[in-house]
A and B are shown apart, each in its own frame.
Chain A
Amino acid sequence: MKIALISERGRLAVEGLAGTDWKLFNFRISTGPISFLNIIDSGFGTPARYLMSLFNRLLKSEFGSTASPKLLFNPLFELDHATILIVLERAGRNAGQALPTIFCDGDGYPLAYLLPASLTFSDAKYLSLLSTVDAVLDQTSLNGFFGWKTSIECMPKVGVNMAFLHRFQSGPCLDIYRWVARAAVDAMRAHSGIGERKNSRLPFSVIMPHHAGDLLFLSLASQRLDTHFSTVVANRAYAEIVKNNAKGLNILQLELPPLNRDGARIPEWKYFEAIQKMLPCDRLYYYARPTRDYDTSSFHLIDQFAFALGNEYYSGDELLIRSSRSSDARILAAGETFNVLLHFDSGWPLKMYPPAYQKELVELLSKHGYRITALDGQHELPCPNVAFRSYRDFTELLRTQHILVGMDSFPAHYAAHVSGLPTICLFSSTRPENSNAPRAMHYRHLERGLECRPCRAVEKCPLNGRAACNNFVAPAVVAQEVENMLNAVYRRSDGIQK
């Protein structure tokens, strides 16, 4: 039997070289190196998605040899040693029968899933739809997905010291996980009845309602992998981003304003309560926003999304962000003036370049004779301001520009990752590794590199008490970098650099 456990408690080894051939794999959710045992830390990976990953890895470890039953410990929980031992003891009793079993504690929380050897790589995606918080619901799901007769073994004496695994601590998402599993069961019942794997025809949809930058990165991830998802559930405001940048993903539009863009700060799970009523019961859903803590991970959002979409990473060399290309040098017509687009708006106040800096930067750039335009400016600036009306208008506008100076937000990410426009991205309270473009001639990110980021503060800096982040670089630095980049990227058609 192959056993998978996400554990930070050190290695366990199970005796049994013959007979049941137990092998216990201690996996880790890693913010650093990626390997067979270190799974990428993704803010968009639910516990069930990690369950799928555990299964895939066990299968890979025995690829080519005899298949064996698999015991997957629930990644949602950090189980104590005694609980692990008791589950192993129970699983040992059941191993010979090789029947699917869910081991749960007295409150019905699944502790581990014993899956038969017949399960294959193509079945793994269904594991990502389990609730991981409700054994009875998961029993129904497994029976529905695979036509099994899954049994439940309740162990009322264990689980008392159960704690959430660090990755899943924040965000009251348990109800959402439960909803995802129940929605899958309902969809199966409504469309094909339970069992017999008839449900493989039901399409998979990934729920990612907002925001623009997230949907851009999700779309870019879909370009670089074959995913089992066919639809993205997103706010109407971002539909064009998905349509124009995703590969093989349709959009299911939500007729709701994006979360927290209307001034009201409501929690993610409350927002989900509103949208779940709008979702049709004709597909299987994966909720890709179980936490806002994607910045605990050092990995790029493209890779974090790719994991959510089903991609498995076995080494750091496989990271998709590394495969991005840099742009070539561009030609500027003789006598042409540089157009500089500035975008200072962002999701929350601390991510926005301070108004005084904005004005100073415009003045410094004007001295160089650049033609400056502000995009969606919220403050009075000595330059023309263009509102962000639509995706199409935005992309048209980019074609007329020579460089974009932006925040850690959609315009800068689009310019750097998609259009290849020279871009300078100004980071403040967020983590550049999560959204940076690969280092290239046409891309620079600027920040002071303060150790207090990412702080997750929104309105005010916890250190200075102001609505301005100390990590922003001064306008003079930005202006100098703009000049450097323009000189590096563009060559005049007369052959003389500016």
Chain B
Amino acid sequence: MNQKIAYCTIASANYLARVEVLKSSLREHNPDAELHILLCERPDICRTLATEAGHAFVSPDQVCRHWLHMAFYYDITEYNTALKPFLIEYLFDQGYSAVIYIDPDIEIFGSLQPVEGLLELHALVLTPHVCLPMAMDGLKPGIDDIVRAGQFNLGFIALADGDESRSALKWWQNVCLEHCIFDGRHRFFVDQFWADILPSFIQKFHCLRDSGYNMAYWNVFQRDLQYVDGHWRADGGELRFFHFSGLSKQDLTRVSVHQNRVTAPIGSPLHTLLSHYVERIGAASWSRHNGHPYSFGFYANGEPVSSEDRRKFLLLPREERDEIGDPFQQASAIRNIKRIDVDSLDERRILFAYRLRRYANQIGLLWREYVRSLKTKGVVLTHLAVWRFLSRRARTILHRG
């Protein structure tokens, strides 16, 4: 069967060097593959960068009508991940029969023809984080971290168009619209938390357990990485792609900033792989955009958008957000929103704070009245009035006693 397959990724400008490595490595091993890049920046910035980079980027407004509000209430990582189901549907709508999404911090080392083949038989292909049991030994990541982060790593997902896929995508989009967040308290782990249930919604699902796919810090200790005859191999088979998640560029022996389970001694195959990757992204022509400020990181007046502002806006009902309009133009309105954490409410504390504020207001009023009286009546008369007032109060209290 002849499938029209789209490869895609999502990144902001600061990740364009990684995207270039992904793009060139993909082309190297899959000459016919075309990489669609959704650039999570303002549409005008996307156009400017497209001209500079010589590559037509997809901009957020092309894939999702809620792009502006999402750009405000999600931080850069949340936003990049939340748009994933929207981009996939967008590519389906462009006429592609299957879409393979790959994270921008992945480098391709082999042909992805097997995945394309899987998509002829299956509607959904996912890669698990780990394929072997792990001990609960207190190291990071532990199996509890893996379970919390989601059974499957969403740095890679392959979907074939179809009724089930479309229906699952719609559901995924709905949850990603407001719930694609990092929130340890509620177990939210961006889109990955929700995507875990996709296999329940799509019957033709394939769990891609081959060691050559989506190798990363979370499974590298379970797989044998070797460089043999000019080719990278995992557990003896071909390494298809490696996911450089949380890459610790300052200290490559650490492998990733998110883990402490494994190290990459200098000279080891893993260290070599990481070093080559760092060299490639350093040499990428798009690395000149590394320092590009995130265009959704600032209000129109130039003030930075804080994570508190983002969360407050997200917590408003959609109708209220619609009424605010473009939040990037509404710095003061957003800052004036009062955020209430119901879990931390305490009646006694609220009443205490409230009374304190009321007494403070009353003292403030008395002080202002005192100063006004000094100005209009003079020192002697004012202090005489104060003395009379206090004696009357004292007499009343004594009388009561």
Contacts and interface: CB of A to CB of B under 8 A. Distances in A.
Do these two chains interact?
yes
Contacts of A61: 317-319
B188 to A, nearest CB: 7
Interface in B315-359: 315-320, 323, 333, 336-343, 345-347, 350-351, 353-354, 358
Nearest to A84: B340
Contacts of B399: none
Interface in A88-108: 88-90, 92
B70 to A, nearest CB: 15
Contact of B342 (A10, A37, A89): A89
B178 interface: yes
A86 interface: yes
Nearest to B323: A37
Given A13-B315, A17-B181, A37-B319, A85 B337 contact: no
Nearest to A9: B338
Nearest to A2: B317
B74 to A, nearest CB: 12
A272 interface: no
Given A18-B188, A82-B353, A157-B351, A25 B342 contact: no
Contacts of B315: 13-15, 17, 23
Contact of B354 (A14, A17, A36, A82): A82
A184 interface: no
A89 B345 contact: yes
A17 B347 contact: no
Contacts of B342: 14-16, 20, 22, 88-89, 92
B121 to A, nearest CB: 35
A158 B181 CA distance: 36
Name which of B183, B333, B345 has the most chain A CB atoms within 10 A of its CB. B345
B186 interface: yes
B179 interface: yes
Interface string B171-212: 000000011010100111000000000000000000000000
Contacts of A88: 340, 342, 345
A35 B318 CA distance: 13
B347 A24 contact: no
Given A12-B337, A17-B178, A86-B347, A80 B354 contact: yes
Name which of B181, B313, B346, B354 has the most chain A CB atoms within 10 A of its CB. B354
A23 to B, nearest CB: 5
A326 interface: no
Interface string A40-84: 000000000000000000000100000000000000000011100
B140 interface: no
B312 interface: yes
A25 B186 contact: no
A90 B323 CA distance: 29
Given A88-B345, A90-B347, A15 B323 contact: no
B347 A89 contact: yes
A19 interface: yes
23 contacts: A11-B320, A12-B339, A12-B340, A13-B312, A13-B337, A13-B338, A13-B340, A14-B342, A15-B341, A16-B342, A17-B179, A18-B186, A18-B188, A19-B186, A25-B319, A36-B319, A61-B319, A82-B353, A85-B340, A85-B350, A86-B351, A92-B342, A161-B358
Interface of A: 10-20, 22-26, 35-37, 61, 80-82, 85-86, 88-90, 92, 157-158, 161
- 9 closest A-B pairs by beta carbon, nearest first, are A82-B354, A13-B315, A89-B345, A18-B186, A15-B341, A36-B319, A11-B337, A92-B342, A85-B350
Given A17-B181, A37-B323, A61-B317, 20 more contacts: A11-B320, A12-B338, A12-B339, A13-B312, A14-B342, A15-B340, A16-B343, A17-B179, A17-B315, A18-B188, A23-B315, A26-B320, A37-B319, A61-B318, A81-B338, A85-B340, A86-B345, A88-B340, A92-B343, A161-B358
